[in-house]
Structure formats: C-alpha cells, structure tokens
Amino acid sequence: MLLAERSVLVLTSLAGGDRHGYALLKDVESFSGVALSPGTLYGALAKLEADGFVQRLPADDRRYPYRLTPAGRSALAERLAESARIASLGLERIALGGT
C-alpha cells in the first residue's frame, strides 16, 4: 500500500513514542517543518486507524494518545526504505550529471 506523505509524517512521529493530537502536530513540525492542520491530522489518523497502522489508547481528558502498531511499523519501514532508495538513486544521478 502506498502511504500518503502526511501519513508517513504521522507514523514517523509515532515511531518515537505514543502521542496525542497536539504533541503529534508539534513533533511533525519540529522534524519536517510541515505544519499539519487539525483536520488533516485527524483525517490521516482516521485512515491509519482504519488500516490498522495506529491504535488509539484510552483517553486522557478529551485527548486520546495514539500508538504505532506492528503493521504500521512494518509499512513505515517499507515506505522509508523505498524513499531512501529513490533518494539515493536521485543523488547518484545528480552527482553523475553534474548540472
């Protein structure tokens, strides 16, 4: 399955530990510079939860923390490996091309 860019960002954040909405937004912004909107974040979380890639933990006040599932970890690893391969190939071609 091809993960959307925003899903990769959310999964990458959750790979560092359980987080609720606000903490996820701040973490994603800190490592990628992307400021997800609340609607985009929960749209992505809803899809990831339906796909079984994240799990919602019991609520703390109105805030539910999320956890990466083994399936989510595997999907993220696969996607990041693919991105790394493409990045490596692109960098190699840029170096060879010289322009």
Partner 1 sequence: MRRRLTAAILLLYPRRVREGHGPELVALVDDLIAHEGRSRTRLLIRLAADGLVQRIATTATAWTVSAVLVATSFGGLAVSDFAAADAPQVVPRTVHTDAPTWHTRQTPHHPPRTHRTSRPTRLERSRDDSLRCASHHG
Binding site for partner 1 (CB under 8 A): 20-22, 25, 37-43, 45-46, 49-50, 61-64
User: How would you classify residue 95: left for phi > 0, otherwise alpha for psi between -120 and 50, otherwise beta?
Assistant: alpha
Neighbours of 85 (CB within 10 A): 10
Which of residues 63 and 67 has its CB atom nearest to partner 1 in the complex? 63
CB 74 within 8 A of CB 10: no
Q: How far is the CB of 7 from partner 1 (least distance, A)?
A: 14
Q: How far is the CB of 76 from partner 1 (least distance, A)?
A: 21
Which of residues 47 and 80 has its CB atom nearest to partner 1 in the complex? 47
